Amino acid sequence: MATLFTRIIEGELPGRFVWRDEFCVAFLSINPLQPGHTLVVPIVEIDHWIDLPPDLAHHLMRVSHTIGRAQQTAFDPVKVGFMVAGLEVPHCHIHLVPIRGVHDLDFANAAVDVDPMQLDAAAQKLREALRDAGHNQFVID
């Protein structure tokens, strides 16, 4: 049975995508810890990050680096948090969160029932920053 993330990747469920290449996608969390909270997800279903082939792990890190820089530009946080937790969906994913402090990485504070217009605005802001940085070929609306 396909994971929730595979269903989003394949378009069966909606997602606010900001990046797609042949190995991974990135889309906004529907329960963001902070505005702009993005998930970087390999297209192939692999549950645990330690099981990623090294080349794919390296690619996910490069994409996360690129998106993190765009988040820094778009949201002006103190830092961009990077976390691999992997407990909520059995499909490896990296959380990239614009943060002001470590408390912004506490999943107990995740937003629920977020206004879709707020998510759309955050996604658009991030897409614009990625395009401004020259990544047009990977940015998707």
Kindly tell me if the per-residue pLDDT of 4 is higher than 90: yes
Kindly tell me if the per-residue pLDDT of 88 is higher than 90: no
Determine the CATH number of domain 4-9+32-44+52-132.
3.30.428.10
3-state secondary structure of 81: strand
3-state secondary structure of 140: coil
Q: How confident is residue 112, by pLDDT bands cut at 50, 70 and 90? A: very high
Q: Stretch 102-130: mean pLDDT, rounded?
A: 96
39-87 confidence digits (pLDDT tens): 999 999 999 999 999 999 999 999 999 999 999 999 999 999 999 988 8
Kindly tell me if the per-residue pLDDT of 140 is higher than 90: no
Say how far apart CA 33 and CA 75 lie, in whole Å. 13
Q: What is the 8-class DSSP label of residue 134? A: T
141 versus 84: which is more confidently predicted?
A: 84
78 versus 140: which is more confidently predicted?
A: 78
Rg of the Cα atoms in the chain:
14
The two structure tokens encoding residue 82: 């990077």
Kindly tell me if the per-residue pLDDT of 101 is higher than 80: yes
Strand boundaries in 2-141, DSSP class E: 17-20, 24-28, 38-42, 79-83, 94-99
* Domain ranges, ordered by start, for the chain: 4-9+32-44+52-132
Q: Stretch 115-139: mean pLDDT, rounded?
A: 96
pLDDT at 86: 82
pLDDT at 47: 96
Under a CB-based contact definition with an 8 Å cutoff, are residues 49 and 57 in contact? Answer: yes
15-35 confidence digits (pLDDT tens): 999 999 999 999 999 999 999
In this prediction, what percent of the chain has a pLDDT beyond 70? 100
